[in-house]
Amino acid sequence: MSNKMKSAHYPKYGPPEVVQIIEVDKPEPKANEVLIKVHATTVSSGEARVRASNFPPLFWLPGRLMLGIFKPRYVLGNEVAGVVEAVGSEVTRFQVGDAVFGGIGSKNGMGAHAEYKCVPEDTPIVKKPESLSFGEAASIPFGMFTAMCFLKHKGDIQAGQQVLINGASGAVGTASVQLAKYYGAEVTGVCSAGNTKLVKSLGADHVIDYKTEDFTQGDKQYDLIFETIGASTYKTAKAVLKPEGKYLAAVFGFGEIVAAIGNSKRVVCAVADENIEDLAFFVELLEKSAIKPVVDRHYPFAEIVEAHRHVDTGRKRGNVVVDVV
């Protein structure tokens, strides 16, 4: 068996063309780790921003300190679906041959854009439902973890609330529409006209075409406004928030940070947390068809640069899957 593998490195920050598939040493699991043979991963909008070092001015330095000042420190890839090929001596949750999926996260160095990845067994990884393909499974964590963080953990979403999802056709948006409907909210999705059918199929009660209507200028008020793409600000949206409503910002600027410091009950800026408990909950929802994967298109691993290019267009619907196997 070869001790080498292919990995998609990016030796410098920049456009999709900086990504290169190279051959590196195959990792070996430590005592508390599992070695996953990666079958599928994704390229998300977050990873595209990291690749390009496209951070707001206020976050440029912290981002570079975490990811690498002069050149990238990590291989990209937060979402993984694959098969456990080897386990460390202390591992008890998994055994060789288990089909698994989950989110690796920056705390574990990312790295799913490769043929193999070692992660500690307490990483948010669980066994994959047989009903899901590897590509479908890989498309779940990023959007669902983000939706769960903001709508449930931060927003305390309740049945009957009026909830608006801005960017409803993206990876986070499609997950958020489904999760909000599961919790019994009345959901308004904001997207382009071409994505109306998709967003309604996921359960949205109302859809606004952002090209013809500005939701911040409307008469309707919302309990929760979830900004998933950074297309609105708290300053422009607060007029359509109910008195006790919350503006939830997954993509935010300096104004949102100042507003959140001044009134954390009104404005929430956060980075989504990944945990095993939420992932296990997503599996329950998947198994009873309360949520479903949304995949825009697949790319073979050899064409991962094309996957980045497509994400950079800003027009993807749901998730972009990279099939490594």
pLDDT in tens, 57-87: 667 777 788 778 889 988 999 999 999 999 9
Residue 202 main-chain phi, psi, to 5 deg: -90, -5
Task: Match 């497509």 to its residue by tokens.
Answer: 310
Q: What is the pLDDT of residue 62?
A: 77
| pLDDT of 264 higher than 90 | no
Residues of each domain in the chain carrying CATH 3.40.50.720: 143-269
- CATH code of domain 143-269: 3.40.50.720
Q: What is the arithmetic mean of pLDDT over 115-120?
A: 97
Q: What is the arithmetic mean of pLDDT over 104-114?
A: 87
Q: What is the pLDDT of residue 263?
A: 82
**pLDDT, tens only, 229-241:** 999 999 999 999 9
Residues of each domain in the chain carrying CATH 3.90.180.10: 4-140+293-323
Task: Match 């298109």 to its residue by tokens.
Answer: 297
Q: Is 171 buried (19+), middle (13-18) or exposed (0-12) by CB count in 10 A?
A: buried
Q: What is the pLDDT of residue 3?
A: 92
Say if residues 103 and 171 touch (Cβ distance below 8 Å). no
| pLDDT of 1 higher than 70 | no
Task: Match 């599996």 to its residue by tokens.
Answer: 283
Q: What is the pLDDT of residue 83?
A: 98
Provide the total of helices (H) and of strands (E) in the chain, helices listed first: 10, 15
* Structural element, H or E, at residue 198: helix 196-201
Cβ partners under 8 Å of residue 278, min gap 6:
124, 144, 145, 148
Average predicted confidence (pLDDT) for the chain: 94
| pLDDT of 265 higher than 90 | no
pTM above 0.75, yes or no: yes
CATH of 4-140+293-323, one of 3.40.50.20, 3.40.50.2300, 3.90.180.10, 3.90.1200.10: 3.90.180.10
**pLDDT, tens only, 269-317:** 988 889 999 999 999 999 999 999 999 999 999 999 999 999 999 999 9
Residue 307 main-chain phi, psi, to 5 deg: -65, -45
Cβ partners under 8 Å of residue 272, min gap 6:
145, 146, 148, 149, 150, 250
**pLDDT, tens only, 185-197:** 999 999 999 999 9
Q: What is the pLDDT of residue 55?
A: 79
Task: Tell me the CA distances in angstroms from 218 to 167, 181, 189, 196, 289, one per residue in order.
Answer: 17, 22, 14, 19, 34
